């Protein structure tokens, strides 16, 4: 029997088991052997009970802000690096480990009644995420917000333009979505990022490989936008959070913003900033028709998936399927 110094031994180990180079963090408190060596100073309670997974541009910030009004719901601290979102499970932050992740959450005053959550909108469509979330938070509940994927793609394109992304400035939305495989790499990257997250069924199926359907809640983003109180009631029931918070009272429609905002006693409602609910021209009819065609099969797939799970179809999906039949 041979052995080696620790570093050399580790190198040897990863030569033999290369698939283990990428860690998969689990909850130390779920395994007695891990718990026994987990520092007594630490807790496993600084982890979220649920996640808002996105996708981007579907109303996730509005949902986040409405959720935090609830007295029993606490969001993660914001990250200065990634524009408020933690983005732990989807990128290089994952390799910073679970202590890094836990530092984004307060010590709950009561771990069974406090509902901590985080929202990172790229989780929805990033391939590795469901597996990683399931390893660390197997009992977590997961909320996805879906709007018409054509509108999502357009909103995302406008978001890129507002952030001065040179390729989004250089190309029209129509050029982006209709780009051919022979187009420039720059254009294809933009096209991919605008279209792929909207292939909802593909992404949801990946989440369902790792989570039971009862752990997943799908929010109709168009109703969240037009009439959020009943949507928030549905979320409260899904989470099983108490006491029931009265969103009809807490939210008010603001005419000048054109969106629902937080009602403030004696002053103007508190709305999301300018970057949420942007003003831009309507999508060209020709581009909408192209996207209706592009997403037809994906939307039908989503309809089959939701029917299989016994879930109601979002209003925008019913409309989209009707207009294409
Ligand atoms: P637009 O700015 O394109 O209109 P996300 O927060 O996931 O990035 O989504 C942003 C979108 O949320 C906005 O896209 C807007 O349409 C939508 N939204 C829904 N409800 C909203 C609200 N109450 N206030 C502001 N934006 C809201």
Q: What is the pLDDT of residues 227-255, one digit of tens each?
A: 999 999 999 999 999 999 999 999 999 99
Is residue 272 helix, strand or coil?
coil
Q: What is the mean pLDDT of residues 295-317?
A: 97
- In the chain, what percentage of residues exceed pLDDT 70? 99
The pLDDT of residue 83? 63
> Could you give the CA distance from residue 298 to residue 104 in angstroms, rounded to a whole number?
36
Tell me the pLDDT of the chain averaged across its residues. 95
Quote ipTM for the complex: 0.99
CA of 227 to the centre of ligand 1 (A): 13
pLDDT in tens, 101-141: 999 999 988 888 899 999 999 999 999 999 999 999 999 99
- Evaluate whether 141 touches 50 at the Cβ level (below 8 Å): yes
79 is in an annotated binding site: no
Q: What is the mean pLDDT of residues 278-282?
A: 97
Higher pLDDT, 70 or 110: 70
Ligand 1 pocket at CB < 6 A: 56-62, 121, 155, 158, 224-225, 259-260, 272, 276-278
What's the Cα-to-Cα distance from 212 to each of 36, 50, 138, 236, rounded to whole Å? 30, 14, 10, 19
Contacts of 202 (CB under 8 A, 6+ apart): 298, 301
274 in catalytic set: no
Beta-bridged to residue 145, according to DSSP, are: 219
The pTM for the full model equals 0.95
């Amino acid at each position: 029997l041979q052995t080696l110094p620790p570093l050399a031994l580790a190198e040897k180990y990863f030569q033999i088991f290369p698939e283990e180079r990428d860690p998969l963090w689990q909850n130390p408190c779920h395994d007695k052997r891990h718990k026994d060596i987990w520092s007594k100073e630490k807790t496993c309670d600084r982890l979220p009970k649920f996640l808002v997974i996105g996708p981007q541009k579907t109303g996730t910030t509005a949902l986040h802000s409405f959720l935090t009004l609830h007295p029993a719901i606490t969001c993660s601290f914001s990250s200065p690096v990634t524009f408020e979102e933690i983005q732990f499970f989807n990128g290089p932050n994952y390799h910073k480990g679970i202590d890094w992740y836990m530092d984004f959450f307060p010590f709950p005053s009561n771990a069974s009644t406090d509902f901590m959550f985080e929202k990172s909108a790229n989780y929805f469509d990033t391939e590795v995420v469901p597996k990683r979330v399931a390893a660390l938070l197997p009992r977590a509940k997961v909320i996805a917000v879906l709007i018409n994927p054509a509108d999502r793609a357009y909103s995302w394109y406008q978001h890129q333009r507002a952030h001065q992304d040179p390729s989004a400035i250089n190309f029209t939305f129509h050029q982006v979505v209709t780009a051919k495989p022979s187009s420039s790499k720059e254009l294809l990257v933009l096209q991919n990022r605008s279209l792929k997250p909207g292939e909802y069924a593909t992404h949801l199926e990946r989440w369902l490989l790792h989570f039971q359907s009862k752990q997943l809640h799908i929010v109709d983003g168009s109703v969240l936008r037009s009439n959020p109180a009943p949507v928030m009631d549905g979320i409260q029931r899904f989470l099983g959070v108490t006491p029931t918070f009265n969103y009809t009272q807490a939210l008010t429609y603001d005419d000048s913003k054109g969106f629902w905002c937080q009602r403030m006693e004696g002053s103007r409602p508190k709305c999301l900033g300018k970057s949420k609910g942007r003003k831009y021209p309507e999508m060209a009819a020709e581009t909408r028709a192209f996207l209706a065609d592009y997403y037809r099969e994906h939307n039908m797939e989503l309809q089959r998936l939701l029917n299989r799970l016994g879930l109601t179809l979002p209003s925008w999906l019913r409309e989209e399927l009707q207009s294409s039949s």
